[in-house]
A and B are shown apart, each in its own frame.
Chain A
Amino acid sequence: EPEVTQTPSHQVTQMGQEVILRCVPISNHLYFYWYRQILGQKVEFLVSFYNNEISEKSEIFDDQFSVERPDGSNFTLKIRSTKLEDSAMYFCASSSWTFVFDTEAFFGQGTRLTVV
C-alpha cells in the first residue's frame, strides 16, 4: 500500500538552529500539506502546496517557515531559526485531489521535533 514517508522520525535541535523536515508524498499525488501537533493539543494546519506554490497557509506559518519541492519526489519544511515552542510532531500529508470523488488525504508517521 502506498504511504507518505517522513524523515527523520525524531530530530533534536538547539534553539536558533535551522531544521529541515523531509517528506516523500505518494507518487501520483498532487497536493501536499504540513500539519503539526504540539503534545496534548490539536492537529493544526500549517501549509498546503500545489503546482509548486503555496496554495494556503495558516497564521502559524510565518516567515520562519518555508516549504519546497526540490525534486519530483521530496517535499520539505524548513524552520529557519527554531524556538522552544516549535517543539511538536510535524505531519506531512498528500492527496490526489481536493477531497472530491472520495479521494483520501494520507498522513505520514510524523517527525518529532524537540528544540532544546
Chain B
Amino acid sequence: QKEVEQDPGPLSVPEGAIVSLNCTYSNSAFQYFMWYRQYSRKGPELLMYTYSSGNKEDGRFTAQVDKSSKYISLFIRDSQPSDSATYLCAMRGDNNNAGNMLTFGGGTRLMVKP
C-alpha cells in the first residue's frame, strides 16, 4: 500500500464550481498536513497547512483533516481558471527532530474552464 494516495485526475470543472481534492494515507504517525499548488514546470507553492484533525479556512480554500479515516481534503470555492494547476498533498510526522521529511501524494491535476 502506498503511503499517500491521490487521484491523479485530471479533474475538469466549470468556473465558479466548488472543487474537492482528496488524499488518503496509511501512516498513522503523520500529524502535519499541507496542500501545495504546482504550476507546470514550477516549484510547489504552499497553500494550506494544518496540524492534526479539524478544519482550516483561508479565503476560498478550506483544508480538512480526518485522522480517524486517514483522509484529508482541500476545498476550493468559486474556482477560477487561474486555479488550474496540480495540487499536491504532503504530510509529515510529529517529533522534535529538525527538518522532518515531507511525504507527498502524486498530485491531482485540476482544470477550471471559463
Q: Which residues of A contact B (CB under 8 A)?
A: 4, 31-33, 35, 41-45, 48-51, 55-56, 58, 89, 91, 98-99, 102, 104-110, 112
Instruction: From B32, B41, B100, B104, give the contact of A43 (CB < 8 A).
Output: B104
Q: Digit string of B89-103 for contact with A (CB within 8 Å is 1, else 0)?
A: 010100011111111
Instruction: From B34, B46, B101, give the contact of A56 (CB < 8 A).
Output: B101
CA distance A35 to B101 in the complex (A): 9
Query: When A and B form their complex, which 8 residue pairs have the shortest distance between CB atoms, in order from nearest?
Result: A48-B99, A107-B43, A45-B101, A55-B99, A43-B104, A50-B98, A109-B43, A107-B44
Majority secondary structure of chain B interface residues (helix, strand, loop or mixed): loop
B46, A106: Cβ atoms closer than 8 Å: yes
Q: How far is the CB of A84 from chain B (nearest CB, A)?
A: 20
Nearest chain-A residue to B104 (Cβ)? Answer: A43
CA distance A33 to B107 in the complex (A): 20
- When distances are taken between beta carbons in the complex, the residues of chain B under 8 Å from A109 are 42-43
- When distances are taken between beta carbons in the complex, the residues of chain A under 8 Å from B42 are 109-110
CA distance A72 to B38 in the complex (A): 29
- When distances are taken between beta carbons in the complex, the residues of chain A under 8 Å from B96 are 98
CA distance A55 to B97 in the complex (A): 8
Nearest chain-B residue to A43 (Cβ)? Answer: B104
- When distances are taken between beta carbons in the complex, the residues of chain B under 8 Å from A43 are 44, 88, 90, 102, 104
A48, B104: Cβ atoms closer than 8 Å: no
Q: How far is the CB of A30 from chain B (nearest CB, A)?
A: 8
20 contacts between A and B (CB under 8 A): A4-B43, A31-B99, A32-B99, A41-B106, A42-B105, A43-B104, A44-B104, A48-B101, A55-B99, A89-B41, A99-B32, A99-B92, A104-B46, A104-B49, A105-B34, A106-B46, A107-B46, A110-B42, A110-B43, A112-B41
CA distance A112 to B101 in the complex (A): 21
Q: How far is the CB of A100 from chain B (nearest CB, A)?
A: 9
Instruction: From A50, A51, A105, give the contact of B102 (CB < 8 A).
Output: A105
Nearest chain-A residue to B2 (Cβ)? Answer: A42
Within 8 A of A (CB), among B73-114: 88, 90, 92, 96-107
